[in-house]
Structure 1
Amino acid sequence: MKIVVLAGGLSTERDVSFKTGDMVSKALRENGHQVILLDVFMGYSDKREDVTDIFEKSEEASIKVSDIPEIAPDIAKVKASRKDQSDCFFGPNVIEICQMADIVFMALHGENGENGKIQATFDLFGIKYTGTGYLSSAIAMDKGLSKQFFRSHEIPTPAGFIMTKENRVDTCSKLGLTLPCVVKPCCGGSSVGVSIVYKDEEFKAALDEAFKWENELVIEEYVKGREFSVGVIDYKALPIIEIAPIKGFYDFKNKYKAGSAVETCPAELPDEITEKMQRYAEKVAKVIGLDTYSRTDFLLSEKNEIFCLEANTLPGMTPTSLLPQEANVIGLNFNQLCEKLIEISLKKYEK
């Protein structure tokens, strides 16, 4: 098949997306496909070119990827580096090349890649892509909205509320908050802008940090406990993985710096809790409509209470990412997993 692996974009997870895209591209080429790794924002070139035979020179046309930095990218610098300085989110030739592909493998993370906007655009252009559709993407991306879905379907989630810049309150006592609490951007990913607040005087700084990234925040109760993630493919839960950061919490640095966290799969849990957490992950997928694959994050409190944090519609896809580790436990190696996700995604277009 002719496949575009779409990465990059303008989210705080831009660099993470490139690593996912690079690994997926290599796997799909090993599987015998013609693959182009394309930056959705920068595009193929800064001028109009004849791209009719681009899949014949796919490796030459693909972007080159380096390691993930320990800090999120400077998006203003990324925007300024695009030569054509167009207001269009899609870079030169992106739509045309994607239309030529049999399917686009969505290796994007964060804003636009996971909020449904690109999926909706592709639907209108008749472009096939991996992963769930625009509406379920938008719901899952908005942590405040998805928490409402969880509550209305009896999926346990930490108590919390939304704060906007317009309605900002810097004093915990005026909000009736019980500390510690968690402050995080409503639609961000990779824990960028997330803070755990233990003292009143830390609250304003946490708001300042989170509001640097978005105009809407989720503020929720802090649940002390163990961290887990459950991948779901075609509404069926994979084995659970436990993530134990060596220092601090599972922030951007601990997610992507080798050796910063201990990951155990299958997680060492009683059968009853394993079953319950997997059923919750499957329920999240059904409730939000994540019809191909997803990954849902959980906390298990010291009292063995399960709390659902969020659902990821385009989870990381490197051999050491959480979803591939879970799939490997059931005998699905990385190359096979990439092929499986394409196979399931294409079935949607047969209906």
Structure 2
Amino acid sequence: MDVLLIAGGWSPEREISLLGAKGIEKVLSERGHTVTFFNLSDGFEALIPLAEKAEVAFINLHGSPGEDGLVQALLSRLNCPYQGSNAEGSFLALHKYAAKSLFQAHGLNTVKGMFLPAMPENLEEIEAKLSYPMFVKSNNGGSSIHLYRVTDRQELKNALETMFGIGLEILIEELAEGKEVTCGVLDGKALPPVLIESKAEFFDYTNKYSADGAAEICPAPIGAEATRKIQEMALKAHNALGLSDYSRSDFILTKEGIPYILEVNTLPGMTSASLVPKEAKEIGLSFGELIEKLLKLAKKKKNGYR
């Protein structure tokens, strides 16, 4: 196939996007595909003629643009099929508070939190609703960039000022004690979950992409019942957002065995340190076979997103 591989862009996650694209390009070429690499930083006006000629696009973008649905909407208008979810599902998943609201509406356990579109007049209103420690995170970012663990009012104030200072929307959530588990969905079925054992206080950007930053154990040794619950929730969250092809849901599993969903990623990382490829390997799919499967799922949707 003639594949247009889209990566890079201008989000804070562009470097990991470009890193993953190198591996994807290598695998696609080895499997006989013709690959045209495109860095989104070159602009939409350069993307359009390439997308009009491509047989299929493979999107390896993280954050915005990419996971926000903008590129998906453009490709759909150009009748260029692509792997993953459409613009609507992508946007809903990236907006963590909107996704959280949908999860709650579908009966999924979520961590107690607040959405802040702007700096509050006083921090007491936050403290009245949430207890320390809290996580302060970007409402529409990923890869654990701009993630702060705060334990008192001064730390909360510093985190809010930093993030609002660079124009971010914020989601604040209480700390949920437990194990970090992630679970992918591929072609309508949940994959074996991964247990993440981080050496740091929490699984931040450095831990996520460092070779020795965290232990990622697949399948997760959490027992059959917890595995079943997490797989069911991952699939339910995927469907609640109206997603397609694949996704990855992140959870906290409490010591009581209760899973809480944190967020869903519609363009899971595709590097040697990424989680979904590890899960796919457990069901017998090599990295190359996983990429090939995603391409075939994309091709099925020709004319399907117009």
TM-score by length of 2: 0.95
The answer on whether the counterparts of 2:8 and 2:14 sit within 8 Å (CA) in structure 1 is yes
Q: Offset at 1:172?
A: 6.2
Runs of 4+ in 1 over 3 A off after TM superposition: 166-176, 212-215
Query: Which is further off, 23-32 or 169-178?
Result: 169-178
TM superposition shift of 1:211: 2.3
How far the C-alpha of 1:318 sits from its partner, in A, is 1.6
Quote the offset at 1:6 in angstroms. Answer: 0.3
Whether contact under 8 Å (2:269, 2:275) holds in the other structure is yes
Taking the TM superposition and a 5 Å limit, the aligned residue runs for 1:302-321 are 302-321=255-274
Shift of 1:209: 2.9
Q: CA deviation at 1:20?
A: 1.4
SS in structure 2 of the partner of residue 268 of structure 1: coil
Q: d(CA) in 2 for partners of 1:164 and 1:94? A: 32
Name the CA shift for 1:198/1:345 in 2 (closer, same or farther; >3 Å).
same
Give the corresponding residue for 1:72: none
Pick aligned residue for 1:274 from 188, 212, 227: 227
Q: CA deviation at 1:281?
A: 0.3
Quick check: 2:28–2:35 contact (8 Å CA) kept in 1? yes
1:31-70 equivalences in 2 (<5 Å) = 31-42=31-42
1:41 partner SS: helix
Q: Secondary structure at the match of 1:319?
A: coil
Q: Percent identity?
A: 37
Paired residues for 1:70-81 under 5 Å: none
Quote how far apart the aligned CAs of 1:171 are: 4.2
Match of 2:281 among 316, 324, 328: 328
Partners of 1:4 and 1:98 within 8 A in 2: yes
**Corresponding residue for residue 102 of structure 2:** 149
1:58 equivalent in structure 2: none
1:298 aligns with 2:251: yes
Aligned to 1:13: 13
How many residue pairs are counted as aligned between the two chains? 304
Matching of residue 24 in structure 1 with residue 20 in structure 2:
no
Which position in structure 2 is the counterpart of 1:181? 134
How far the C-alpha of 1:201 sits from its partner, in A, is 2.1
Task: Give the one of 79, 104, 121 matched to 1:126.
Answer: 79
- Give the Å deviation of 1:8: 0.5
Unpaired runs of at least 5, structure 2: none
2:301 corresponding residue in structure 1: 348
- Cα distance in 2 for residues equivalent to 1:115 and 1:20: 19
2:148 is matched with which residue: 185, 195, 200?
Answer: 195
How much is the aligned-residue C-alpha RMSD, in angstroms?
Answer: 1.6
Range with bigger deviation, 125-134 or 171-180: 171-180
The change in CA–CA distance for 1:113 and 1:350 in structure 2 (over 3 A counts) is closer
Structure 1 pair 207–335 and aligned structure 2 pair: CA distance change class (3 A): same
- Give yes or no for contact 1:171–1:203 (8 Å, CA) kept in 2: no
C-alpha distance in 1 between matches for 2:109 and 2:12:
28
Matches of 2:160 and 2:119, distance apart in 1: 13
2:302 counterpart SS class: helix
The aligned residue for residue 209 of structure 2 is: 256
What is the alpha-carbon distance in structure 1 between the residues aligned to residue 18 and residue 286 of structure 2? Answer: 20
Gap runs ≥5 in structure 1: 43-88
Per the normalisation by structure 1, the TM-score is 0.83
Please give the alpha-carbon distance, in whole angstroms, between the structure 2 residues aligned to 1:175 and 1:18.
42
Partners of 1:346 and 1:319 lie apart in 2 by: 25
